[in-house]
Amino acid sequence: MVKVYKPGKVAIVLRGRQAGKKVVVIKQLDEGTKDRPYPHAIVAGIERYPLKVTRRMGQKKLARRSKVKPFIKVINYSHMFPTRYALELEGLKGSVASDTFKEPTQREDAKKTIKKMLEDRYTSGKNKWFFQPLRF
């Protein structure tokens, strides 16, 4: 079978609380693990997208509207839909691992680093499609 989900690949979540949200694959586990015997991926996504900004807005308002709320999750391959897009974030690979989900403090630290990287990416103007919610 062709490996669709590689690190950096953008996908859309189909099931659960984050259904319809965009995620980027950090680590893929095609064979699964002992506690999760199905193919799955560790992903980071955007729970709350940044709001629209205009040229007239001041720096303070622009900074407030450019915030991103991230989430990290382990998702089954059958609950994700791959897209043609890819996101190159080198720092994400080291920030989240399989043992990150065992302790809440590690999870919070990983979310903070992901938030910083995504906000930097958004303010630089790269990957605009990733930072817009899906239209239904």
pLDDT > 90: what percent of the chain? 49
- Which range among 50-54, 97-101, 125-129 shows the weakest confidence by mean pLDDT? 97-101
Give the model's pLDDT for residue 1. Answer: 56
DSSP for 97-109, written as a single string: -GGGGTSHHHHHH
Question: Given a cut of 80, is residue 98 above it in pLDDT?
Answer: no
Give the model's pLDDT for residue 82. Answer: 93
pLDDT band at 51 (very low <50, low <70, confident <90, very high): very high
Inter-CA distances, 46 with 19, 26, 58, 59, 65, Å: 11, 14, 25, 23, 14
Question: Given a cut of 70, is residue 95 above it in pLDDT?
Answer: yes
Domain 9-129 annotated CATH 2.30.30.770: yes
Spatial separation of the C-alpha atoms in residues 115 and 35, rounded to whole Å: 28
Give the model's pLDDT for residue 36. Answer: 85
Segment 3-25 shows an average pLDDT of 91
Give the model's pLDDT for residue 44. Answer: 93
Closest of 78, 104, 90 to residue 24, by C-alpha: 90
